[in-house]
Homo-oligomer: A and B are copies of this chain.
Amino acid sequence: AVIGCDAAAQAVSAAVAHARELGVRINVAVADSGGNLAAFLRMPGAFVQSIDIAIDKAYTAAGFGFPTGDWMKVVGHDEGMKLGFSARPRLVVFGGGLPIRIDGVLIGGVGVSGASEEQDEACARAALAVIGAEVTQDNKQG
């Protein structure tokens, strides 16, 4: 199952709306469960480099199914895995990417970049909330 077109559009718009409330400028992407880009939105003035970071956070979260902010928790005990996964192209090992699950099924990922790690992830949670995706307690704590 992949996320639908309307849901993906709503998700990125909700992330932008939340960024406006926070007074920050972000780029936000949604990837489908195949890792392909499903939706994207950029606020003018957001960091140019954050475009690809947002897309890659969505790609990473959609592929592995856990928040990108959890990577150090998952591999941090092992120096080789820590350095090795950090260096993989398009794999982002810091916060701002969350998996999208509906009724327990992974249908994609959302990635936000442009503000602080906490603000990016708050915008990503706003994207999940508007489409009724699961926001786990773990995600809430960033």
Contact with B along A68-97 (1 / 0, CB 8 A): 010110001011111111111111111100
B82 touches A42 (CB 8 A): no
**A60 to B49, alpha carbons, bound, how many Å?**
8
Task: Find the B residue at minimum CB distance from A83.
Answer: B86
Count A interface residues, CB 8 Å: 55
**A40 to B32, alpha carbons, bound, how many Å?**
13
Q: Is A38 interfacial (CB 8 A cutoff)?
A: yes
Q: For A99, what are the chain B residues with a Cβ–Cβ distance below 8 Å?
A: none
* Copies of the protein in its oligomer: 4
Q: For A36, what are the chain B residues with a Cβ–Cβ distance below 8 Å?
A: 34, 42, 48, 51
A8 touches B42 (CB 8 A): yes
B32 touches A49 (CB 8 A): no
Q: For A86, what are the chain B residues with a Cβ–Cβ distance below 8 Å?
A: 80, 83-84, 86-87
Q: For A111, what are the chain B residues with a Cβ–Cβ distance below 8 Å?
A: none
Please report which residues of chain A, range 23-64, place their CB below 8 angstroms from some CB of chain B when the two chains form the complex. 29, 32, 34-44, 47-49, 51-53, 59-60, 63-64
Q: For A94, what are the chain B residues with a Cβ–Cβ distance below 8 Å?
A: 78, 80-81, 84-85
5 additional contacts, CB 8 Å, given A78-B117, A81-B94, A86-B87?
A9-B9, A35-B48, A38-B44, A76-B79, A79-B82
